[in-house]
Structure 1
Amino acid sequence: MPLSFLVKELESCLPTMPGFDNIKPCISAKDIAYIGLRDVDPGERYIIEQHDICCFSMQEVDKYGIKEVMERALQAVDPRGERMIHLSFDVDALDPTLTPCTGTPVHGGLSLREGSYIAEELANTGRLSVVDIAEVNPNLGNKLELDKTVSMTMEIIQRCFGHRRQGNYPKGYDIPRPGEKISTPTVKVN
């Protein structure tokens, strides 16, 4: 829904709404790739098909695997591999067993591994410039479910910023040698 206000091809479909007059469509439908779709309503399906928006349902993720889906999605929106990338990650794309505190839970979503892979691959491009996370609703569920939703969401965010599952080390790191004094960097926040 919010994305529809930004898509140039949908400008004629937008209602006039007080307070929204400063929002102007600024992206093309060809610049969008959806991954992990399921339970798409008729209006959304119509827009996707009429404007040839690149999309991959969970059936296609199952069929091709997340690696192939990511390659196809990136090829569709950035065939030369040179454009900056905006990731809008709706946590309801993950299976609701992982993120129960979302308003639109639909079973059969992405696994944490698939969500992590998406974020890692985008981080690996060096062109991930914007990340927004949507659909976390702390008013839904109990404390345990909220903690789980936040934990899974943080996993995805960390992957976007280069935290790799195989581990990381800081820039300039060297293995300490016996007898060397180990200096620990200090970060002060006021």
Structure 2
Amino acid sequence: MDINVIGVPIFYGSDIKGVDLGPRKLREKNVLNILGKYHKIYDLGDLFVPSVKENHKFSFHPKMKYLKPIVEVNTNLAHQVYTSLNSGSFPLVLGGDHSLGLGSISGVSKYYKNFAVIWVDAHGDINSHITTETGNVHGMPLASAMGVGYEDLTDLYFHGTKVKMENVFIIGARDLDKGESDLILTNHLNVYSTQNVKEAGMKKVITNIIKTLKERNISTVHLSFDIDCIDSNFVPGTGTPVKEGMTVGEAKTLLKCIAESKLVKSMDFVELNPVLDKDDITSDLCIDLLDWTFKYLK
């Protein structure tokens, strides 16, 4: 398989500096050579991220930080993902914060008309400019992709909804804002909390999701993996760590089962912050998880 590695060194969505160094850190840890054991790797480099001064973060919208550069970067990412898929390659997007998920999904949506998103995250990322409690756009990409929120985000790359709500599966959520919980209840979104995972077992959760996708004749999945899905004890190097998360073993079970399904055609791997890390614990775990995933990816 041909893998196109796309770095997105952006922190504007989280407003926590250091996460923009994630792609560089992973390359320094030899991620390209490691993944090259299993696939042909093409490093497309990092997307350009325009510089914006901190005191201008609300210059583009009163309730969303750094909106303009986030839209610009995500639009370029969407096209990069689309062209990768169009060439028969697998786009692997290395972040950077999770605001980039909107660009990835938008690119996938232009190429595949019927696909699903498996969003693995401690957070729902389904806020809007109306419900946000922080103004951080990395809490909005999935809602925007489902057509909920500000039009600059919902209409990114092309006009209209990018993925149907019923084809979105959120796994590992355990830190939801009120607006997110309301959206989940109103629209009956598919959300598997960490507690659900621990009660049912990760393998059963993934097996049921894959069964549902096949029943709907969906043969394409975009996997968006935020390392904060894992318990904060194991991932000190991330901007919004949350306790009582997945174990490393549960995360590996998830990644293996999804990879072996042969449905995954694109992937995000986000929110590594080397500045917050301790003795490279998180960076080394990220390399281990990527190695593990792409070993099983067919």
TM-score tier, shorter chain, comes to 0.7 to 0.9
- Aligned-pair CA distance for 1:88: 0.3
Unpaired runs of at least 5, structure 2: 1-139
| Cα separation, partners in 2 of 1:51 and 1:163, compared to 1, 3 Å | same
* Unpaired runs of at least 5, structure 1: 165-190
Amino acid of the structure 2 residue aligned with 1:79: E
The CA RMSD over aligned residues, in Å, is: 2.2
Q: Which runs of 4+ in 1 moved over 2 A?
A: 20-25, 72-82
Instruction: Indicate yes or no: 2:225 matched with 1:89.
Output: yes
Cα distance in structure 2, aligned partners of 1:75 and 1:56? 15
CA distance in structure 2 between the aligned counterparts of 1:21 and 1:34, rounded to whole angstroms? 22
Aligned residue in 2 for 1:6: 145
Aligned partners of 1:54 and 1:73 also within 8 Å: no
Post-superposition Cα deviations, 1:45-67, rounded to whole Å, max 9, x if no partner, equal: 11122222111111111111111
Kindly tell me the number of residue pairs found equivalent between the two proteins.
Answer: 156
Report 1:92-107 matches (<5 A).
92-107=228-243
1:67 to 185, 196, 203: 203
Report the Cα distance in structure 2 between the residues aligned to 1:55 and 1:21, rounded to whole angstroms.
Answer: 25
CA distance in 2: counterparts of 1:38 and 1:95, whole angstroms: 11
Aligned partner of residue 295 in structure 2, secondary structure = coil
Alignment identity in percent?
A: 27
Correspondence for 1:131:
267
Pair 1:108 & 2:247 matched = no
- Tell me if structure 2 keeps the 8 A contact 1:36–1:57: yes
For the structure 1 residues 97 and 127, does the alpha-carbon distance in structure 2 shift closer, same or farther, using more than 3 Å as the test?
A: same
SS in 2 for 1:89: strand
TM-score (norm 2): 0.48
> Aligned in 2, Cα 1:16/1:86: closer, same or farther, shift over 3 Å?
closer
Name whichever structure is richer in strand by fraction.
2
Larger radius of gyration: 1
In structure 2, what is the Cα distance between the partners aligned to 1:122 and 1:115?
A: 11
Does the aligned pair in 2 maintain the 1:119–1:157 contact within 8 Å? no
* Alignment TM-score, normalising by the size of structure 1: 0.73
**How many Å apart are 1:79 and its aligned residue?**
2.6
Q: With a CA cutoff of 8 Å and minimum separation of 6, indicate the structure with the bigger relative contact order.
A: 2
Gap change, CA 1:94 and 1:21, over 3 Å in 2: closer
Structure 2 counterpart of 1:176: none
